[in-house]
Homo-oligomer: A and B are copies of this chain.
Amino acid sequence: MNIYDIAQRSGVSIATVSRVLNGGKNVSQKTREKVLSVMQEEAYTPNAFARGLGLNTMKMVGILCTDVSDTFYAKALSLVEGNLRRHGFDVLLCCTGSQLEDKKKYLELLLQKRVDAVVLIGSAFQENTDNSHIGAASKQVPVVIINGLVELPNVYCVLCDEKEALTRNVELLYRQGSRRILYLYDTLTYSGCQKLAGYREGWRSCGLPEEDLLAVQVNKNLEEVRSKVKSLLENGESFDAVLASEDLLAVGAQKALAGRGLTLPIIGFNNSVLAQCASPSLSSVDNMLDTLCPTAVNLLMDLLDGKPAPHKILLSAQLTERETFRMDSTPHV
C-alpha cells in the first residue's frame, strides 16, 4: 500500500496525497477529507524511508550516552527523550561506555543514520582532551551537550555550575568546622574535572594548606569505594568530612564510616534516588537536570528552526539537605 494506491482510490494525483500527508496546506477541504478517509480505510502508513529520502530527515535525534544504567544518566536520558518526543522527534539511542574510542565509533554510526542532531550525555571531556569526534559531528548537525562544555562552532552546552557547587560545599563544611575533607571522584569527564577543580578552589578560598588536599579517585562501584575508604581509615588517613562527585561514592564512604562507628558530614552529588535511600539519608547537590534537560531540548529546537541560540547556558546547582549534612546544624568543632 503506497501513495499511488491511495491516489487512485481517492481519485486524485499522488501530489495531492502527498500534500495531505504533509499538513494538507493547498488542498481543498473536500479532497483532504476524501483522501484522509481512504487512508483510514486502507490503514495506510507512509513509508518513513521514502519520506526521509524526500525530506532529507526522519525527525530523529541521536543521543550518545555513556551508561544508561547509571541513575544520573538515565534520568537525563529520560528527560531529554520525553522533551524531544513532545516536539515530534524520535530518539536513536547509543550507549557508549566510557571508552573514548567507542564514543567516536558510535557517534559516527548515529550520523550515518542521518539524525537531525546529536545530544551528548556524559560524553564530553575536559578542554585539553581529544574531542575531535564532537568537532566532526558538529560539522554535520548541531550538537548539544548536557552537563559538559566544549567550545566549538556548532556545539551548544547546557550545564550547571558544578565547580561552584563543590567550592561552596567545601566552604560550608569548613564553616562548620571541617578542616580535612575527603573528596571522592571517579571519571574525569568535563563534569568530573570541574568538580575536582571546585574542590581545590574551595580549599584555597578557605585558606587551608594545599598539602592537606585529599582527593581520591575510585571506580563507581559500591564495594570498591567502601573498601577503598576503609583502607584509608585503616592506614590512619584522617579526615573529618566527605564530599563525592557522585552519590554512589558517598554512600560507599558512608558505609565504610558506619563500619567503624563514625558519623561525619557527607555530601553527595547528583541528588539521585540513592541519596534518598541511604541511611542516614544523604545530602546531595542537585544539578538541576529537571530544568537543564528541557532547556537543552528547547535550545535544540530553536537551532533546528534556524533561530540563533546561546552556546552556553549555565545554571546554578542546589544543595538538597538531608540527614548527613545540614547547613543550619551546629558546627561540630
B90 x A91 contact (CB < 8 A): no
Chain A, range 60-81, C-beta contacts under 8 Å to B: 60, 63, 67-71, 74-75, 77-79, 81
Query: Chain B residues with Cβ under 8 A from A81's Cβ?
Result: 68, 93-95
A interface secondary structure, majority: helix
Query: A78 and B85: CB pair below 8 A?
Result: no
Could you mark each residue 104-120 of chain A with 1 if its beta carbon is under 8 Å from any beta carbon of chain B, else 0? 00100111111000000
Q: Which residue from chain B places its CB closest to the CB of A254 in the assembled complex?
A: B279
CA distance A92 to B114 in the complex (A): 13
Inter-chain contact A93/B93, CB cutoff 8 Å: yes
Check A90–B113 contact: CB distance below 8 A.
yes
Query: B279, A58: Cβ atoms under 8 Å?
Result: no
Copy number in the complex reads 2
Chain B residues whose CB sits within 8 angstroms of the CB of A68 once the complex forms = 68, 74, 77-78, 81
A309 interfacial contact with B, CB 8 Å: no
Contact B92 A92 (CB under 8 A): yes
Instruction: Identify the A interface with B (CB < 8 A).
Output: 45-50, 52-53, 56, 58, 60, 63, 67-71, 74-75, 77-79, 81-82, 85, 90-95, 106, 109-114, 222-223, 248, 251, 254-255, 258, 273-274, 276-279
20 residue pairs of the A-B complex, CB under 8 angstroms, read A48-B113, A49-B52, A49-B56, A50-B53, A60-B113, A67-B78, A69-B71, A69-B74, A71-B71, A71-B74, A71-B273, A81-B93, A85-B95, A90-B92, A91-B92, A91-B93, A92-B92, A93-B93, A254-B279, A255-B279
